[in-house]
Structure 1
Amino acid sequence: MRYHAVGSAELGRGGRMARWGITLPLTGVPLAAHRELVKELPDLGYTDAWTAETAGTDAFTPLALAAEWAPELRLGTAIVPVYTRGPGLLAMSAATIAELAPGRFALGIGTSSPTIVRGWNAAEFTEPFKRTRDTLRFLRSALAGEKVSAEYDTFAVSKFRLERPPATAPEILLAALRPGMLRLAAREADGAITNWLGAGDVPKVRAELGSDAELVARVFVCPTEDAEAARGLGRLLISSYLTVPAYAAFHDWLGRGELLRPMHEAWAAGDRKAANAAIPDEVVDDLVVHGSPESCREQVQSYVDNGLTTPVIAVLPTAADPAEMVRALAPK
């Protein structure tokens, strides 16, 4: 994808029109209860709805509903693991959403983590770069309606052809945290999806991806003026995520290695409380947007100003109604 302009979103770097996405489903809200909010999203200025896949809903079912509830929205997965479905099933799932939302679906794939892949799904987590590359190449062929028989480095497929190939193949984006995967995304995908970065980190990521490819990032937003409460929640999330080896390496590359060293040492010693306490305020404030809704919108916009194409807001729980927070965070 090459910087599509949609709706009422703000102008970003170089005068490009930015998209404005939201992560669905909202924390603590039953999936069926999203109907009225999702119908409102285009009028609020949202252009995109993106899902994730960890231990809640799967990535595809909420998009099937959203395709019916708000046919104006672009839909995306951020991300579907390449290990937890066979290649053929992954192609079928993607083709289904592409049929429901023709020309409005972006398939985000990535490695996920050993905990999710091995610990929760009993799959092997080996050669993540090659497995992602091979899956991307298979999906390109399969979603184009081709009959695929191929020996890839990490798997083989024999005589697979979709019975219902989509009329418009979805864009494919790769989850990417460091130069190798970002460069693969630039060469062979339609863009990259990244996570857990600050607005000031975007130029470094963009430099590896290049200026033309789409760059999507999930931006964690805690819309409250209680800074200590927001930082407390942020620390819990940061210690959970940034101790995963891929994220630890990402933040070493971004230059936060020394700032995060005490957290890693406490975590390795089994002291989660000390690990949380060791995370500096400046790191939390870089990685978790918080403040009034107006301030949060401005902070999200700073990601766009620094080169992000598509911010995807993930609303973190506060005392407020999460649907009202989505409305308050809508672009103005």
Structure 2
Amino acid sequence: MTPRLAVSMTGADERLDQVGEMVEEFTAAGYRELWTSELTGSDAFAPLLAAAVGRKWLRLGTAVASVFTRSPGLLAMQSLSLAESSTEPVHVGIGASSEAVVAGWHGVPFRRPYTRVRDTVRFLREAFEGGRVTFRSDSFDIEGFRLARTPPHRPRVLVAALREKMLRLAGAEADGAVLNWLSPDDVRKVAPFVLEGNPDAEIVARLFAVAAADRASARAYARRHITGYLNSGVYAAYHAWLGRGDVLEPMARAWRAGDRKGALAAVPDSLVDELFLTGDEAQLRAGLAEYVRAGVTRPVISVIGPDPGLARATLLRLGPAGGVDQQPRSAQNNQL
């Protein structure tokens, strides 16, 4: 058995009153698992709750919900709502986000992100047991919190992780990791940090495919995303740790100088092809299969591109009629 492909709803492009129609398309294409992100559109939980109305058989996951922009108690309550909306396992992926988002956009101090994520994981696991929780930690103190109802099945807590410390936390204290912006070879590098704490930990990866008229157009579109993300502090440091510092330096130098066109031109095709799936349907499926062979247990696909209609059509054609091929990991038991 192999894991079937899950679909990512961005939370930015689709309005909540369009979720039902969108999910009908997804499920008709064979998707049975939906994940969300959050930025400045819908939050991570609302689209999943809307999608689950009348469809309690869906598997649901957040990738990811910020631990800084909501209280630990509110996160526990939102997780309860998610668990009650589906008879299937639900995954609550949480993460620190970044200083630009947390402090800049939300006005919340961005302090000790690793500690905040760690303490939130510990609080959630205790809160899901259903008892009264008095919790003392380096990040926050909770006095006498208790969920109104015990979740019908415990939400699986995942940690959005980039480098070693957070990756180890994801395996040692959570149920697994949510990975982002990496190649199959990168998965082979980072997954062992998660699995050393728990050989059965889940490895969720948000994967980006670009649908365009041709590969050159797809690469050009992907370059804009690379310059937008990989010049941010957290992702720049992440990719330097992965060994791409020299490859990214020309782009970063142009970006710092305010030369946006120069930054785009400095992104090599090889980097685009490492981080994005491009090509025809067969090539996209082959790329997805490579991520699974590298150790991803839950591949979550987001198809983007200059033509939203083509992107949606490509996503539907990739619908998981039978899963993606892989050499199964012995510990992998998280199939749909």
TM over 0.5: yes
Identical columns (%): 44
In structure 2, what is the equivalent of residue 99 of structure 1? Answer: 84
| Letter of the 1:281 counterpart | D
2:38 paired with 1:53? yes
In structure 2, what is the equivalent of residue 122 of structure 1? Answer: 107
2:312 paired with 1:323? yes
Please give the alpha-carbon distance, in whole angstroms, between the structure 1 residues aligned to 2:110 and 2:135: 21
2:218 paired with 1:258? no
Residue 220 of structure 1, aligned match among 190, 194, 208? 208
Aligned ranges 1:114-193 → 2 under 5 Å: 114-193=99-178
Kindly indicate whether the alpha-carbon contact (under 8 Å) linking 2:303 and 2:312 is maintained by their aligned counterparts in 1.
no
| Structure 1 residues 230-276: Cα deviation after superposition (integer angstroms, max 9, x where no partner) | 11211111111112222112211221111001112222223222222
2:63 paired with 1:78? yes
Please give the alpha-carbon distance, in whole angstroms, between the structure 1 residues aligned to 2:187 and 2:118: 23
Kindly indicate whether the alpha-carbon contact (under 8 Å) linking 1:38 and 1:70 is maintained by their aligned counterparts in 2.
no
Please give the alpha-carbon distance, in whole angstroms, between the structure 2 residues aligned to 1:264 and 1:156: 40
What is the number of equivalent residue pairs in this alignment?
Answer: 317
- So what's the TM-score if we normalise by structure 1? 0.90
Change (3 A) 1:232 1:205: same
Please give the alpha-carbon distance, in whole angstroms, between the structure 1 residues aligned to 2:308 and 2:140: 47
Kindly indicate whether the alpha-carbon contact (under 8 Å) linking 2:179 and 2:203 is maintained by their aligned counterparts in 1.
yes
| Letter of the 1:187 counterpart | A
- So what's the TM-score if we normalise by structure 2? 0.89
Kindly indicate whether the alpha-carbon contact (under 8 Å) linking 2:218 and 2:305 is maintained by their aligned counterparts in 1.
no
Which segment drifts farther, 64-73 or 169-178? 64-73
| Letter of the 1:74 counterpart | R
In structure 2, what is the equivalent of residue 11 of structure 1? Answer: none
> 1:146, CA displacement in angstroms?
2.1
> 1:69, CA displacement in angstroms?
4.7
Please give the alpha-carbon distance, in whole angstroms, between the structure 2 residues aligned to 1:316 and 1:69: 28
Please give the alpha-carbon distance, in whole angstroms, between the structure 2 residues aligned to 1:245 and 1:290: 26
Please give the alpha-carbon distance, in whole angstroms, between the structure 2 residues aligned to 1:297 and 1:224: 16
Kindly indicate whether the alpha-carbon contact (under 8 Å) linking 1:225 and 1:292 is maintained by their aligned counterparts in 2.
no
| Structure 1 residues 57-115: Cα deviation after superposition (integer angstroms, max 9, x where no partner) | 11111000111253322100000010000111111111111111144210000001111
Question: Deviating runs (4+, > 4 A) in structure 1?
Answer: none
Change (3 A) 1:201 1:264: same
In structure 2, what is the equivalent of residue 307 of structure 1? Answer: 295
Please give the alpha-carbon distance, in whole angstroms, between the structure 2 residues aligned to 1:133 and 1:159: 20
In structure 1, what is the equivalent of residue 93 of structure 2? Answer: 108
> 1:31, CA displacement in angstroms?
3.2
Change (3 A) 1:258 1:115: same
> 1:18, CA displacement in angstroms?
1.4
1:76 is paired with a residue whose SS is strand
After superposition, the CA RMSD in angstroms is: 1.7
Which segment drifts farther, 160-169 or 182-191? 160-169
In structure 1, what is the equivalent of residue 221 of structure 2? Answer: 233
Please give the alpha-carbon distance, in whole angstroms, between the structure 2 residues aligned to 1:70 and 1:103: 10
Please give the alpha-carbon distance, in whole angstroms, between the structure 2 residues aligned to 1:40 and 1:226: 25
List alignment gaps of at least 5 residues for structure 1: 1-15
| Letter of the 2:312 counterpart | A
> 1:43, CA displacement in angstroms?
4.9
Please give the alpha-carbon distance, in whole angstroms, between the structure 2 residues aligned to 1:20 and 1:144: 31
Which segment drifts farther, 204-213 or 118-127? 204-213
| Letter of the 2:155 counterpart | P
Please give the alpha-carbon distance, in whole angstroms, between the structure 1 residues aligned to 2:274 and 2:130: 43
List alignment gaps of at least 5 residues for structure 2: 322-336
| Letter of the 1:188 counterpart | E
Residue 74 of structure 2, aligned match among 61, 74, 89? 89
